[in-house]
Structure 1
Amino acid sequence: MNARRRLRFSPWLLLSLLLCWSTWAGAVPLDVAQPSEQPLSLTTHAGILEDASRALQLSDVRSAEMAARFRYQESPSASFALGFTRSAYWFRLDVGNSGDQPLTRLLVVDNPRISLVDAYVPDGQGGYRTWFTGADRPQTGKAYANRNFVFPLHLPAHAQQVVYLRVESSIGLHVPLQLWTADALRGYEREDDMARAGYMGIAVAMLLFNLMLFIALRDRLYLLYVTFVLITASALTIKNGMAPDWKLLGQTLNSNVVYYSAVSLTLSAMLLFMRGMLQTARLLPRVDPGLRALIALYLLSPLIYAFALPQVSRVAIVVNLLTAFVMLGVGVACALKRQRSAYFFLAAFGLLILGGASTSLRAMGLLPTNAFTVDGLQLGSSLEMLLLAFALADRINVMRQEKLQAQARLLQTREQLVDTLQRSERELEQRVAARTEELQVLNSRLETLSLTDALTGIANRRHFDEVLDKEWKRAQRVGEPLALAVLDVDWFKTYNDHYGHPAGDSCLQQIAQTLAATISRSTDLVARYGGEEFVFLAPSTGPDGAHSMAEKLVRAVEALALPHERSPLGHVSISVGIASMRNDGNSPAQTLVQRADAALYRAKAQGRNRVECG
């Protein structure tokens, strides 16, 4: 009797089944018995129902009437791109286990920026276990410790279940639904954590590097960059759902209000850094007030987000996108004006802006969801930091070149002053005194700017004194001898008087070059000691080694064959005094200098063009 009753279908029931067949056809249970190392996208397996009133409950969507209203996508996609909407959405997933063993699968909502995520999973006893989580709720409500929203599905053998999800967001709503095995998800988590840690490592390294540069150089631009890197790293941490479960002015750190506020602060810091780096106030005076207005808008926007984020989130995305193009335009304009920093800015920030634009276009539903659009901002930020490292190195190199140019200008000024003093000594005695004082100031600046002798290009006396003190202490520590040679150009005053000062300078330069080429060990130091006197310092060298080096140097200078008519030898020659000592801790370094100097006097007294040991 019961069997016959089951076969009596009413015409109305048959008609209803035919009308709903196309909708229910998508509700065929998804068999998850076979494990897979790759996630299974559920966009063609999960039904979707819009809840414009946001008032539906689980009991409502489980009814037969509501079941017929769930829609199923025919073509696969990475996510459900629902755009900016005030509606809530329900998802229905029919899953089954055709195997002989119970199994567990993990349902993943791969977007940590969804404001509210409610999961209803069968508990195996005829009821449903419920989780209420989401970006705008405390992270303690999560079913599984992950930056995304993960829910375990426990499927007995030969069983079927219906899982429901309810999502709602105050910003653009994208719902990538995936099904994972536990082992595959753990492997993905390890790779994901390594990627996030790598980015944070780059950010921390660049932050500390530029902070040290700011402390050393006191350049405000580096402080602006440190602020930008710090806020950018914080914003990306929040975007990825990895912020601590703390509260800020009543909002959790992972909430979309805090996220949008962090993005605004990031853009304001980026604009401030760009204005300083590209000097827009000077190069683009008409554009710079607009940039200041944008900065003010971004600094005020967190107040707007706190009260009306759902209403302004779409507008905020558009404004952020337009700001990216404004910054690119400013970079191009400065590059056309041949501003050197603009080339680095376009390369580095162009990648960052491209990554941010891809994320924004994804939020607007104009680009698909994939690894590049989801983490575009993080990828672009990493490349931007690396490229700006080259920009900062170039900036330091430019500063060094400017320093050398300043030294050259100071030297040129010195020569001009000396020439003026020689021509006007009697007529302008008062001006001579003033210029002499100015010359002394310039000499003092030159001494502090460089440790290199301006004429010969080798180390100067100050550099030599510093290295001598250091090597003398090292010689005591390691117990090895330290050798010093003092050499003097023979009959150099008569050379200057006969050939003139320019020829004398050229002579000293050639001797210095010969000295540097002959005494060429990496541990040795050659320096101009003063006037026509030079020195070289040879660590770990005894008297014999020092004597051999000095003899080689005497022969090298002799080989130059520089004419010297006032010398008995007919060519330029040098006399060298050497000394080698071990530091017993009782003698100062000057003892070594005195012994080498005394040896030099003996070399001069005994005919010059020779080496004497002290």
Structure 2
Amino acid sequence: MQIKKLLFLFFIFGFWTNLFPETPTVDLTNLGETPIFLAKSMLVYEDTSQNLDWDEIHSETSKNKFQTFSSSEEAFNFSYSKSTFWLKVLINNPTDEDVHSNLVIAYPRIKTLDLFVNSNDGTKRIPSGYSVPVEKRPYQSRFFVFPILFAKQSKTELYIKVNSPNAINLPIQLWRQKFYDRHEIDDHVMQAIYFGITIAMIVFNLFLFFILRDESYLLYVLVVFSIAISIAAYNGIASEYIWKNSPWLDQYAINLFISIVLILFLIFMRNLLQTKKILPKLDPINFILIVIQIVLSIAYIISFDTFVRLLVLSHSITSLWILIIGVMCSLKKQRIAYFFLLAFAFLFLALIVSTLRALGYIPTNVFTIEGPQYGSAAEMMLLAFALADRYNTIIREKEIAESKVKYNLERSNLDLEEKVRERTFKLNQTLSAMRRDLFVAKNIQENSIQVDPQLLRELKLVYRYLPVSEVGGDFFDIIRLQNANFRILIADATGHGVHAAMITMAIKGLYDPIKEFELQPNQVLEIFNEEFMDNFVSLNSLLTAMILDINFNEKTIHFASAGHPAAVLLHDGKIELLAKTGRMIGLKKQTHYDLKSTKFQSGDRLFIFTDGVYEAFNSKNEEFGEENLHKFLMATNSLPLGQVEENLLQTLENFQNGSDRQDDLTILGFDL
């Protein structure tokens, strides 16, 4: 009789336990370097009315409604559902230390995801989900992360409220905070590698498109770019970095971008596999599928709940069709189709896995979540191989065509040689005339920068002007404004040679009428820029310029610089740089230039130069640089000014070690 009573009580206890299960407990002593997956340890309550709030959920009546729910080891998968799901678990920290942890839901497309932390200190609600802006979430990440402190010797109930129009997948992990931080760094490195490879593929094939003018490369770039955006939307990178506060895009973007990917893939496939010629009867279906994707995408935007499943299903059907076309072209022994088929097989498998997971037919885990990104990476690389094979085919065809052309060229070689001799004679005549013209131009330019000997003595000026060729793009002008006040202009037109020399003549023509205006240097530069923009903007040339007014009575230098290299003032054993005060001449009208001033003392030394002085390169393509120039000027400050400039030219020549100068060089030195 007693045995029967015990069996009866055991049955009643088991029935009651299954009907009203106790909240599962997770022990934090098991929390180490790897996370604890909470899906198997949580109870679930499905609120089909979507009306229950925290007080009702936490009431004694609702507590008994939480039940176990079938899930994978790592995650819940509620697929597409209009219900609100409440999940709960009890976290036990029996240790003698506080545990800093992160609760992570590693899936970015959940609209409402609120965490309720119920402890001895009361209940704390932490809102999250893509409806909450990234900067207002408790932890800014591509996933939903909740930092939680579990006090020592404590038990804490965690409740999670979930609702979303998208497929509801919940990979729920509990990490120690320091190990999750390390994991997140590793994750960002992997994402950087993936998107870095994607950008490299896009840039490389874009260059090939511009070189070969083959639209297959442009279509490949568009396909890869759209896949990259889709992956960014899929794994949360886009919502973390691109659209940080756009719930609409978080809800709609992934399926819309998949439609764009498939549309571009259909166009790319028609072009690469030439389906219009190879499969003329099946080719029209490609257009039908493109129209279906466009129509369903529009309908999906208008009514999300009505068309989301249909759009997801159409993605699988379209993908299967692309795979079938690849198989059929391969059976016709089309070489490039082998690469295409293998490449799309990876993407197709990833898309099918993602679709089945979203519809709830397969479990949610690391493989089914990260699968599309790995599949897209493999597809991207294999398609690149396909285009490389296409490039080799183009090269072979080109070589055949060149061999035919070569035969014809050899036949006409004798005629060409005769014509070359005739034209060489004419070219020599033309070159002789050009040399005479350049000699005249050189004399004209040198005369335009001659300095009055009286000014040379008064300013104690020593200068060097060395153009790369007969004429150059550097120009300077020195005038006396009044008594002990002098104005110095130095300018450098972009480039060198005849074109730059023509700009210097334009500089002189514009500057001469305004150089004696009783205006500050910055005002003269502003007038000069306006005149240059009005008269010579069509020359597509820019120039740097600097105007300095030196007053020997007041011992001041007022200056303004239009992007010109900083002049060097040496005084008291120190260097003062007279840096630029505005942008280059010729960039924009109504440009403002600041005026700056500085003091000097007797015995100071001033150097004004163009960038050719320090932009000297040696055979190793190393630049002499401004820093070396400044050190040289400091080291030779005790030498006579002329000797300093001679030593500088010799130093530059030694540095270049036989390499030719690449820019005009001008340096003005003043003993103040």
Percent identical: 32
Distance 1:254 1:125, change over 3 A: farther
Find the partner of 1:200 among 195, 200, 223.
195
Q: Deviations over 1:364-402 (max 9, x none)?
A: 222232332111111011111222222222111111110
Is 1:52–2:36 an aligned residue pair? no
TM alignment of 1:443-454, pairs within 5 A: none
Find the partner of 1:88 among 84, 90, 95.
84
- When structure 1 is superposed on structure 2, of 201-210 and 138-147 the one drifting more is 138-147
Cα distance between partner residues in 2 of 1:101 and 1:385:
49
Q: CA deviation at 1:141?
A: 3.5
Structure-2 residue corresponding to 1:514: none
Cα distance between partner residues in 2 of 1:288 and 1:271:
10
Find the partner of 2:335 among 340, 362, 367.
340
Find the partner of 1:382 among 352, 377, 380.
377
Cα distance between partner residues in 2 of 1:381 and 1:260:
16
Q: CA deviation at 1:264?
A: 1.2
Question: Could you say what secondary structure the match of 2:101 adopts?
Answer: strand
Cα distance between partner residues in 2 of 1:75 and 1:340:
45
Structure-1 residue corresponding to 2:64: 68
Q: CA deviation at 1:351?
A: 1.2
TM alignment of 1:38-437, pairs within 5 A: 38-73=34-69, 77-122=73-118, 125-126=121-122, 128-244=123-239, 251-252=246-247, 255-410=250-405
- When structure 1 is superposed on structure 2, of 30-39 and 195-204 the one drifting more is 30-39
Q: Root-mean-square deviation (CA), in Å?
A: 3.2
Q: Deviations over 1:188-231 (max 9, x none)?
A: 11221111111101100000011101111111111111111111
Question: Could you say what secondary structure the match of 1:243 adopts?
Answer: helix
Q: Deviations over 1:320-348 (max 9, x none)?
A: 11111100100011112222221110111
- Aligned pair count reads 412
Q: CA deviation at 1:129?
A: 2.2
Q: CA deviation at 1:302?
A: 3.6
Distance 1:61 1:212, change over 3 A: same
Cα distance between partner residues in 2 of 1:73 and 1:162:
18
Q: CA deviation at 1:305?
A: 2.5
Structure 1 runs not aligned, ≥5 long: 1-13, 419-438, 445-582, 586-614
Q: CA deviation at 1:136?
A: 4.2
Q: Is the contact between residue 119 and residue 155 of structure 2 (CA under 8 Å) also seen in structure 1?
A: no
Quick one: which amino acid aligns to residue 314 of structure 1?
R
Question: Could you say what secondary structure the match of 1:69 adopts?
Answer: coil
Distance 1:414 1:337, change over 3 A: farther
Q: CA deviation at 1:300?
A: 3.9
Q: CA deviation at 1:147?
A: 1.1
Cα distance between partner residues in 2 of 1:83 and 1:258:
18
Distance 1:297 1:136, change over 3 A: farther
Distance 1:40 1:286, change over 3 A: same
Q: Deviations over 1:479-502 (max 9, x none)?
A: xxxxxxxxxxxxxxxxxxxxxxxx
Question: Could you say what secondary structure the match of 2:45 adopts?
Answer: strand
Distance 1:94 1:38, change over 3 A: same
Cα distance between partner residues in 2 of 1:443 and 1:238:
61
Q: CA deviation at 1:16?
A: 9.9
Structure 2 runs not aligned, ≥5 long: 1-9, 418-657, 661-672
Question: Could you say what secondary structure the match of 1:49 adopts?
Answer: strand
Quick one: which amino acid aligns to residue 374 of structure 1?
I
Q: CA deviation at 1:121?
A: 1.8
Question: Could you say what secondary structure the match of 1:176 adopts?
Answer: strand
Distance 1:109 1:172, change over 3 A: same
Cα distance between partner residues in 2 of 1:279 and 1:171:
37
Structure-1 residue corresponding to 2:25: 29
Cα distance between partner residues in 1 of 2:161 and 2:16:
23
Q: CA deviation at 1:410?
A: 4.5
Q: CA deviation at 1:409?
A: 4.1
Cα distance between partner residues in 2 of 1:35 and 1:245:
28
Quick one: which amino acid aligns to residue 213 of structure 1?
L
Q: Deviations over 1:14-38 (max 9, x none)?
A: 9998754225544143221443111
Cα distance between partner residues in 2 of 1:584 and 1:321:
63
Cα distance between partner residues in 1 of 2:71 and 2:208:
54
Cα distance between partner residues in 2 of 1:152 and 1:245:
18
Cα distance between partner residues in 2 of 1:366 and 1:222:
37
- When structure 1 is superposed on structure 2, of 51-60 and 331-340 the one drifting more is 331-340
Q: TM-score, structure 2 length as denominator?
A: 0.57
